[in-house]
Amino acid sequence: MKRFIYLTVLLLTAVSAANAQSITGVNVESYTMERNGGYVVVDMELDLRGLEVKGNESAIITPHIVRDTLSVALKSVGVYGRNRYFFYERNKALAPTSSEDIEYRSNELPETIHYHAVVPYEEWMDGCKLILERADCGCANAELAREGSVLVDRFPLEPYAPMLIYIRPETVGTKSRSVSGSAFIDFPVNKVDIRTDFRNNETELAKITGTIDSVKADKDVTITAISIKGYASPEGTYANNTRLAKGRTEALKLYVETLYNFPSNLITTSYEVEDWAGVELYVEASTLANKEAILGVIRSDSAPDVKEYTLRKYYTADYFYLLENCYPSLRHSDYVIEYEVRQYSSLEEIEQIMNTAPQKLSLEEFYALAKSYEEGSDELDELWEIAVRMYPHDEIANFNAANSAMNKGDFERAERYLSKAGNRPEVIYSRGCIETLRENYVAAIPYLEEALKAGVKEAEPILEALNNHWKVTQAKKK
C-alpha cells in the first residue's frame, strides 16, 4: 500500500482545475467517496475501452486524496503492454505496482471495472480533493507522460448553512401597558388628611403626579385606570389601623382627583391594614438577637393584635428596633397607572418609535419592521435585541432573538435565549440549527428528526445534507 507522500510539482500542475471526469483512455462513469467510521471509502466505475498501451509501456491509474501539499495515494490500476508485463513478471521488485494494486495485460483489459479502495481517515483530509492520475512509463520506468483530473473538488461537503426561521407573533388588538411606583406619604398621628407641607410629602406626592403627567403628555397614549393601594405598619390596634389605612388611601385618591379631570371610576383603591409580610421580609434579612423566635410569632396563626403584643412584651428591644427602623418603610402607597398605546401602521413610524420609545411597540410591530431588514444585518440583530429587552419573558421574542444571535455566530447568546423560548417544534429545530452551525452533526440530527416529526419541514433538507455530508456521489449517466 502506498503511504503518505508529498505531491510533486508535476502532479499539482498537471491536474485540471475543472471536474472533468475522464483522463486519456479512462472515463469515470460514476463514483462515490464517503467516510465510514474511521475510514474513507472510494468506489468508481471505470470505462477502459479507450485505453491503449504500447508493448514496452505501462499506464498506471491512481486516485489521490489531496489537500494542500499532503497526499495519500490509493491503490493503483496498472495496465501493461505485453513486453512490460512479462518483464515485470520476471522482475517484480522493479514493477511500479504491488500485490495490493490491480494489474492487467493490455490485451486482456476488460471494458469496465469496479474500483474499490479503503484508507484510514486523517484529520488533514477535511476539505480534501479526490484526483485521478494517469502516469505513463517506458523502459526502466522512465516517465513518458502524466495527467490528472479532479473528481471531487471538496470532501466532505461544505458545512451546511441551515435556513433559520422566525415566528410571527400573534396579533394584539390592544397594546396595554402600565407604570408603577411607591410613595411614602406622612400623616400626623391618627390623622387621615393629606398635608402637602408635612415632612417630605411634597416630594413623595410629586412621584405620583409626575408619573401621571408623563403618561398624559404622550399623544400616543390613553390612561385607562389608576389603582392605589395603601399599606400600614402593625403598631397600634388592628381596628385603628384599618381606619387609618382606609382613610389615608381614600385621601390620596381624593388628592389626585382634585388635580385631574378623570372620570369618577378611573381611580380605584385598596389597602393592607398591617403589612406583616413586609415585617417578615425585613426580619429574615436582619441579625436580630431573637430573629427565629420573632419569625415564629409573625408566621403564627395568632390574631394581629396578639402578634404585636407578644413582640412588644417578650422581645421589647427588638420590637422597638423594628418600630424605628422597619415600620416607617411599611407605611407606603403603591400606585399603578394603566394605559393603552395606539397602533403604528407605517414602517417609518415603527422604526422611529423603536429608536425613541421601543416600549410602545408590540412584538407584531417589531416583526413587521424586521421583514424590511436584510437577513443577517446589524440592524436586524439590534432590532431583535431591543424586542427581547422589551419582552424579556416572551417566548417568541426570545426565539427570534436566538435566531438573530445564530446569524451572528453567537451560539452562547442563542442558547441563552432559546432557554426562555419554550419547547415548541420550532425551538427544537433551532437547537438542531445551532449544532449544525457548530458542525456537531451527531448532536444536531436528533433535534432535527424530532422537529421534522413535529411538522417543521425546514428540517428535511438539513437532515439530507447532514446525512450526505461525508458522502459525495456522481451517478452514472443514462
Fill in the amino acid letter for 383: L
Instruction: Please determine, for residue 216, whether its predicted confidence score (pLDDT) is greater than 80.
Output: yes
For residues 247 and 203, membership in a common domain is answered with: yes
Q: Which residue has the higher pLDDT, 453 or 143?
A: 453
Angle, to 10 degrees, between the axis of helix 459-467 and the axis of helix 441-453?
Answer: 140
- Last residue of a domain, which of 122, 155, 188? 155
> For the chain, what is the domain count?
3
Instruction: Please determine, for residue 7, whether its predicted confidence score (pLDDT) is greater than 90.
Output: no
CATH number at residue 13: 2.60.40
Pairing of strands 143-155, 128-137: antiparallel
Looking up cell 398591617, which residue turns up? 274
CB environment 44-66: b (16+ within 10 A), e (fewer): bbbbbeebebeeebbbbbbbbbb
| pLDDT 10s digits, 91-150 | 888 888 888 999 999 999 999 999 999 999 998 998 899 999 999 998 878 889 999 999
For the chain, give the mean pLDDT: 90
For residues 202 and 65, membership in a common domain is answered with: no
For residues 113 and 255, membership in a common domain is answered with: no
CATH number at residue 257: 3.30.1330.60
In a domain, 60, yes or no: yes
SS3 83: helix
Q: How confident is the model at residue 80 (pLDDT cuts 50, 70, 90)?
A: very high
For residues 271 and 364, membership in a common domain is answered with: no
Q: What is the pLDDT of residue 478?
A: 55
Q: How confident is the model at residue 228 (pLDDT cuts 50, 70, 90)?
A: very high
In a domain, 170, yes or no: no
In a domain, 167, yes or no: no
First to last CA, the chain: 34
Domain that holds residue 362: 358-469
For residues 318 and 445, membership in a common domain is answered with: no
For residues 20 and 58, membership in a common domain is answered with: yes
User: What's the pTM?
Assistant: 0.66
| pLDDT 10s digits, 323-339 | 999 998 888 899 999 99
For residues 119 and 205, membership in a common domain is answered with: no
The span from the CA of 409 to the CA of 406, in Å, is: 5
